[in-house]
Amino acid sequence: MSRRNKKQEEEPENHERWLLSYADFITLLMIFFIIMYSMSEMDKSKYNALASVFNVEMGGGDASIVEGGNGTGNADTGAEGELTEEEKQLEVKEAVDQYIDTSGLNDSVTTSIEERGLVLSFNDALFFDSGDAEIKEDQKNKFADIGRLLNQPALKESFIRVEGHTDSIPVSNPKYKSNWDLSALRASNVAQIIINDAGIQPNRVSVIGYGEYRPKADNKTEEGRNENRRVDILILNSEFNNAEQVAQ
C-alpha cells in the first residue's frame, strides 16, 4: 500500500474536542452557582424552582432529585425546608437558657417545652416583693431582655400568654382584693414590660391571673408554695391560635 493511500485511511483530526471541555466547564460552573445560591439561605422554594429548571435543561431528568430525592422535600422540616415550630421554639429556649446562665438566674427562671408551647417560669421572690404586684425596679431589665429574645421573626405568628400564679395563702393587704387580683396584676405588669421595652406587638399578648388555682406543687409545704408563686410567659403552639385570635 502506498504512503498516499495509508494517509487517506487515517481518521481526520477532530477540531471540535474543545467543545467537550467547554461543556464540562459550563456544567460545573452552573452547579457551583446553584450550591452558592442554596447556601445563601434565600427562599428555598425559589431555589428549588431554579435548580429544577437547570436540572431538566441539562438533561438531569426528574427534578425531584433536586428537592430531596422523593419530590416531597424533607418531612421533618416542612415542604420548603423550614424549621418546624418545635425546632423554632427549641432555638429560642436555648437562647433564653444561655441568658439565664450568664445572668445568674438559674435559681429564679426555668424553661420547658410542653404540649401547649414554650414556658418560661419566673419565681416571684426575685422579681416581686411579698404581696406586691409591682416588679422590682432593678429586675425590670431582665424581663425586657428575655422579651427581646422571644421577639424573633421565627415566632412572629405565635401568641404569648402571661400567666400569674400565687400560693394558697390569702393576700393580707388592702391593695389587692384576692390572690386572683394579685396574680392578674403581676402578669399585667410583666406584659407591659415585654410590650413597651421588648417591642412585642400587643395583639399577640394576653394576660391571665390564676391565683392559687393552678399549682405546680403542694401548697402544704413552704417549698411547694415557693414553687407556686410565679409568673409564666407561655409562647403558644400554633395549634392553639384559634383560641387567641379574634374576628377582624
Domains of the chain: 85-243 (3.30.1330.60)
To the nearest whole number, what is the mean pLDDT of the chain?
80
The per-residue pLDDT for 5 is 55
User: Is the pLDDT at 64 greater than 50, yes or no?
Assistant: no
The stretch 90-101 carries a mean pLDDT of 96
Q: Which residue has the cell 384559634?
A: 242
227 C-beta neighbours (distance < 10 Å), count: 19
What phi-psi label fits residue 115: left (phi over 0), alpha (psi between -120 and 50 degrees) or beta?
alpha
- For residue 136, the 8-state DSSP code is P
pLDDT, average across residues 172-200: 96
- Report whether pLDDT(46) > 60: no
**Stretch 184-201: mean pLDDT, rounded?**
97
0.85 surpassed by pTM: no
pLDDT reading at 90 higher than 90: yes
Judged against a pLDDT cut of 90, whether residue 190 lies above it is answered with yes
Task: Band the pLDDT of 199: cuts 50, 70, 90.
Answer: very high
Residue 11 banded pLDDT, cuts 50, 70, 90: low
Closest to 230 in 3D by CA, of 158, 160, 179, 194: 179
Q: With pLDDT > 70 as the criterion, what percentage of the chain qualifies?
A: 71
Q: How far is it, in rounded angstroms, from Cα 116 to Cα 198?
A: 23
What does the CA dihedral 208, 211, 215, 219 come to, rounded to 10 degrees? 170
Instruction: With a cut of 70, say whether residue 239 has pLDDT above it.
Output: yes
38-47, 91-100, 124-133, range with the lowest pLDDT? 38-47
pLDDT grade, residue 154 (50/70/90)?
Answer: confident
> Can you give the pLDDT at residue 235?
96
Copy the grid coordinates of residue 97.
437558657
Given this model, what pLDDT does residue 82 score? 78
- Residue 79: pLDDT over 50: no
pLDDT confidence of 65, banded at 50, 70, 90? very low
Query: Would you state the pLDDT for residue 241?
Result: 77
H/E stretch holding 95: helix 85-102
Residue 69 vs residue 84, higher pLDDT: 84
> Mean of the pLDDT values across residues 232-238?
94
pLDDT at 153 over 80: yes
